[in-house]
Structure 1
Amino acid sequence: MKRSKRSGILAVVGLMLGMLSSNAQTLVESVAAIIGNEVIYLSDIENGVLDMRRGNPRSPVDQIRCNVFQELLIAKLFVDQARIDSIQVTDDMVEGDLNMQINEAIRTAGSEKTLEEYFKKSMVEIRRDIRKALVEQQVVSEVQSSITSGLAITPNDVKRFFNAIPKDSLPVIPAKVQISIIQLDPPNNEENKAVARQKLLDIRSQILAGKSFNVLAITNSEDGSYVNGGEIGYKLKGELEKPYADAAWSLAKNTVSKIIETKYGFHIIQVIDRKGDLVNTRHILIRPKVMPDEAEKAIARLDSLARLIRKDSLKFADAALRFSSHLDSRINGGKFVSTTPSDRINWFSLDELNSEMYTKVRDLKLGEISEPFQTSDEIGNIVFRVVRLDDEIPAHRANLKDDYQFFYNAAMMSERQSSYQKWIREKIETTYIKISDEFNSCKFLEAGWLK
């Protein structure tokens, strides 16, 4: 689970998930605060402190404790409001997120056993605690949505927000480009597939003869999971490619599958463990190679198309629709969509491109089409492309004309935060709140929390 520095109301959920770290000590369940019908225990705060100190070991403990306490108080205000508004979140609503959190925790720890030893809890207890935290996260989100459901801002609001920012504080926006592509896949050559299958058969034979699957995955697999010995962690059946999932669910534990084919290439699989609807597997992936003569044919075909387009004998959009194998772009005239959406649809920074695309695009003039080149597609398979630079925005100091959406989003976020803060102040006034004297030194309590 990726963790960043926590701040503000929305960060409280990451904090609650961190409270699984109750392995440090057992505390008497002293009550730190009561908020409406909700209770915060001293152990909640101390476990949150432990979690935050892992990321900020030099921060003053007293300040961290007050920050943790403040975030928990705010979260409990939202949860108490959900009770009043009869907002309910069922376990089923968070099951997908729960499985992802568990999978990532196990992957990070290395095994279920290590995770259980770290938290001094069984997997059943860990799942229960994370599920509870995720349900509370969803409850908080539902209440926040209700608070800002009617929120809207006008262009004048965005302009006022922009004008209030000191000019020397405006961010520098990196260069962005908009491009179109025509893509050709390598021929579906059975000879290439046979070579890949044979390599995998040889690897499988070595495993059956007693060699380590992990070691052979590290030295042979063409999937990023090779660094973990091919292990991909616990997955639901729907998270896997169907042929892979079917094989994984039919295998006995620690057995090795026959060769299976997916859009990524060819795999052999070993089942490590099963937990209910989850299966943990390791695999070795071999992708069919592209022979030099096949690459030459694809490059030549793209070169012919590019020449016709440059002569205006063929429209780029028509060529994309008729010949491109890139399904997401071909129906849109070849327009390439960033896989990490930014504040501009179809716009992305150069560093979002892989190295081959980056090298070609950076040297293009507006409207120019590149020479054909070999690259990898979004799932790592070899493809051949030409790319056209459709539009570009140089790196620049943010301004309202070019970056309106950026400032609209920032202004909207500011309005949401203001709405939350206003709601919190009003909620504090009308909610029963009892806080332990132990926390009277926390400065934030002066804003109405103490009654």
Structure 2
Amino acid sequence: MKPVFTFITALFLCIIAVAQTPRKVIADKIVGIVGDKIILKSDVYNDIIDRQRRGEPVPENADCSIMEQILTLKALVLQAEKDSIAVGDDEIDALLDNQIRGFINMYGSKEALEEIAGRTIYQIKEDFRQTFKERKLAERMRDKIVENIKITPQEVNLHFSKKDQNNLPFYESEVVIGEIVVNPKASRDLEKLTIDELNDFKKQVESGAQKFETLARLYTDDPGSKENGGQYSVNRTEKNWDPAFLNNAFRLKDGQISPVFKSKFGYHIIQMVSRAGDDAIVRHILRIPKITDDEINEAINKLDSVRAKLIAGTITFGEAVAKYSDDENSKFTGGYKQGQNGGTSLELGQLDKELVELLAKTNLKPGEYSKPTPYTDERGKKGVRIVYLKTRTTPHRENVKDDYDRLAKEAIEIKKQKALESWFASKIPSYYIMIDEDFKNCGTLKNWMQYAAAGSK
């Protein structure tokens, strides 16, 4: 049996891929059984058809690989049910709602999705309910099997020693870096100018002189929605949206435009395009009041005094972040930059361009704080920041000293994989297994075929 983690991960991606076209196209028959869990021909081949439809390469043995992934998942689900592992309906509903929002974003509207699928939103959700429940049960069962697995320094060293020492990977320079950010406040006059501008946009749309989406493409300060006319799909229960934005959006009827309001990003107007319960499609125009040199200099002076305290040691970096930083993410990260995987050790290419340039120009060394420096974030919002370089590695070949965390993660994944394989070896022979003759030539299913043959006697 090949690595179980790999199979489960691939299967979850397969489920999502199949979901991109919410309708079945294969004439079904049962091609596998694990205990009382059946596997349909469509479960295997719809993924292949979707890959072909998207123009992606499909390996010759894709059917064998996908069949093994599904057998693995069904076994985990079967055991999860035996162990009374529960997944709540509310949890599955949340996953389904998120998937439907993805579909609506993809196709542009709820109506377009229903037309393409040939089914209502409710029917689409029900089509995927069992699939999503099984995926979550398999995740929980996998986590239960490996929950007590730990790794020791000795095991990390042993893992490294088993690597080909003549072919170790090379890593570029990585940094652990933090920020204390102050966002200057615009003057009252410039804030009023921004509000007046948005009120004028609202009047133009309501009078029929302009379309909302045209004005959004021309004037919004939100780069994430500029190209599609300010449009977003939103759900009022999602916590990643600004509360003021959601509150103003869900007060509107279809076609209605909100008054000008303020969020943490700037000033907005919103147009409701369509709404279905807690889901809605809206357009918005964001305008960020201009920041002048006076406000920038005021923020620099404030952070100059903070930097002096840091250098003098009268306040720690964490304390300064909590007390002075305007960056909302700081409360979760302690002021440190994080990558997509949640780690704080980042390659320079993962930093914003202005931050890379600052490191190059100032020659900041580990343990040092930069002078307060103005910058513009990805949304075009101006700020001033102190940068703290905690650590910086030099480009190097992999070694235990510099890459312990990375090696420990590799080692524990291997240990978990072995634990899963051991679990399967002990459990699978006790299950009833049936595999259709269509898969008799799949070499990767050798162990499963053996159990199937034993179960049929």
Taking structure 1 as the reference length, the TM-score comes to: 0.88
Change (3 A) 1:392 1:193: same
2: CA distance, partners of 1:81 / 1:319: 48
DSSP 3-state at the match of 1:228: coil
Between the aligned partners of 1:323 and 1:431, the Cα distance in structure 2 is 58
* Distance of aligned partners of 1:283 and 1:169 in 2 relative to their CA distance in 1, 3 Å threshold: farther
Deviation of 1:43 after TM superposition, in Å, equals 1.6
**3-state DSSP of counterpart to 2:72:** helix
* More divergent stretch after superposition (114-123 vs 210-219): 114-123
Partner of 1:197: 195
Contact 1:231–1:282 at 8 Å: present in 2 too?
Answer: yes
Question: Higher mean Cα deviation, 177-186 or 78-87?
Answer: 177-186
- Following TM superposition, by how much is the alpha carbon of 1:160 offset from its aligned partner in structure 2, in angstroms? 1.2
Instruction: Name the counterpart of 2:32.
Output: 33
Moved more, 49-58 or 25-34: 49-58
CA distance in 2, matches of 1:27, 1:318: 57
Task: Return the offset for 1:440.
Answer: 0.8
Aligned-pair CA distance for 1:72: 1.0
Shift of 1:31: 0.8
Report deviation, 1:16.
2.3
**Against the structure 1 CA distance between its residues 319 and 66, is the aligned structure 2 distance closer, same or farther, given a 3 Å change threshold?**
closer
Alignment match, 1:266 = 267
What is the one-letter code of the residue matched to 2:370?
S
The match for 2:277 is: 276
Equivalent position of 2:86 in the other structure: 88
SS at match of 2:400: coil
Give me the whole-angstrom Cα distance separating, in 2, the residues matched to 1:335 and 1:26: 50
8 A contact 1:13–1:133 mirrored in 2: no
SS in 2 for 1:178: strand
- What aligned pairs does 1:167-316 form with structure 2 within 5 A after superposition? 167-210=165-208, 211-223=210-222, 224-239=224-239, 240-302=241-303, 308=308
Separation (CA, whole Å) in 1 of partners of 2:27 and 2:407: 48
Aligned to 2:415: 415
Closer, same or farther: CA 219–146 of 1 in aligned 2, 3 Å:
same
SS of aligned partner of 1:401:
helix
Partner SS for 2:401? coil
Question: Which of 88, 102, 119 lines up with 1:104 in the alignment?
Answer: 102
Pairwise CA distance, 1:431 = 0.8
| 1:435 aligned partner | 435
User: Counterparts of 2:312 and 2:75 in 1: how far apart (Å)?
Assistant: 64
SS in 2 for 1:415: helix
> CA, structure 1 residues 233+310, in 2 after alignment: closer, same or farther (shift >3 Å)?
closer
Match of 2:111 in 1: 113
In the alignment, the residues of structure 2 paired with residue 290 and residue 188 of structure 1 have an alpha-carbon distance, to the nearest angstrom, of 5
Partner of 1:405: 405
Distance of aligned partners of 1:376 and 1:135 in 2 relative to their CA distance in 1, 3 Å threshold = farther
Query: What does residue 146 of structure 2 align with?
Result: 148
Q: 1:160 to 1:51 in 2, by over 3 A?
A: farther
Amino acid paired to 1:413: E
Which digits, 9 at most, give the CA deviation of each residue in 1:249-302, with x for residues without a partner? Answer: 211111111111111111111112222222221111111110233224434554
Structure 1 residues 312 and 241, CA gap change in structure 2 (3 angstroms): closer
Secondary structure in 2 aligned to 1:103? helix
Q: Do the aligned residues in 2 keep the contact of 1:343 with 1:406 (CA within 8 Å)?
A: no
1:183 Cα offset (Å): 3.1
Return closer, same or farther for 1:171/1:55 CA change in 2, 3 Å cut-off.
farther
Q: Which amino acid aligns with 2:430?
A: T
Offset at residue 392 of structure 1 (A): 1.2
Secondary structure of 2:132's aligned partner: helix
Task: State the distance in 1 between where 2:384 and 2:11 align.
Answer: 46
Helix, strand or coil at the partner of 2:283: strand
Q: Secondary structure at the match of 1:215?
A: helix
The 5-angstrom pairing of residues 41-52 of structure 1 reads: 41-52=40-51
The answer to whether residue 375 in structure 2 is matched with residue 391 in structure 1 is no
Q: Is the Cα–Cα contact under 8 Å of residues 173 and 395 in structure 1 kept in the other structure? A: yes
SS at match of 2:289: coil
CA deviation after TM superposition for structure 1 residue 238, in Å: 3.9
CA contact (8 A) 2:186 2:295 kept: no
Structure 1 letter corresponding to 2:134 = E
- Write the distance in 2 (CA, Å) between the matches of 1:8 and 1:39: 18
Aligned partners of 1:310 and 1:420: how far apart in 2? 48
- Distance in structure 2 (CA, Å) of the matches to 1:92 and 1:330: 30
Structure 2 Cα separation of the partners of residues 82 and 439 of structure 1: 26
Preserved contact between residue 17 and residue 130 of structure 1 (Cα < 8 Å): no
Q: CA deviation at 1:78?
A: 0.9
Per-residue Cα deviation, 1:385-444 (whole angstroms, up to 9, x for no partner): 232433311222221111111111111111111222222233321110111111111111
250-259 vs 385-394, greater mean Cα deviation: 385-394
- Which residue of the partner structure matches residue 3 of structure 1? none
Structure with higher RCO (Cα < 8 A, 6+ apart):
2
Q: 1:100-159: per-residue Cα shift (whole Å, max 9, x none)?
A: 222122112222333334433332222223333221111001111121122122211111
Q: Is the 8 A contact 2:176 2:337 kept in 1?
A: no
Deviations 1:308-362 (A, max 9, x none): 5698597675993697333669899x96311336575x43332232222221123
2:163 and 2:185 map into 1 onto residues whose CA distance is 55
RMSD: 3.0
SS at match of 1:19: helix
Give the TM-score of the pair, scaled to structure 2.
0.87
Q: Partner of 1:161 in structure 2?
A: 159
**Long gaps (5+) in structure 2:** none
Verify the 8 A CA contact 1:181 1:335 in the aligned structure 2.
no
Q: In 2, are the aligned partners of 1:79 and 1:139 still within 8 Å (CA)?
A: yes
Aligned counterparts of 1:152 and 1:323: Cα–Cα separation in 2: 37
Secondary structure at the aligned position of 2:402 is classed as coil
Deviation at 1:229, TM superposition (A): 1.4
Question: Which deviates more, 219-228 or 23-32?
Answer: 23-32
CA distance 1:21–1:45, change in 2 (3 Å): farther
Taking the TM superposition and a 5 Å limit, the aligned residue runs for 1:114-133 are: 114-133=112-131
Distance (whole Å) between structure 2 residues aligned to residue 323 and residue 150 of structure 1: 38
Cα separation, 2, equivalents of 1:435 and 1:48:
19
Encode CA deviations 1:44-81: one digit per residue, 9 max, x unaligned: 21212223445673434x51111111111111111111
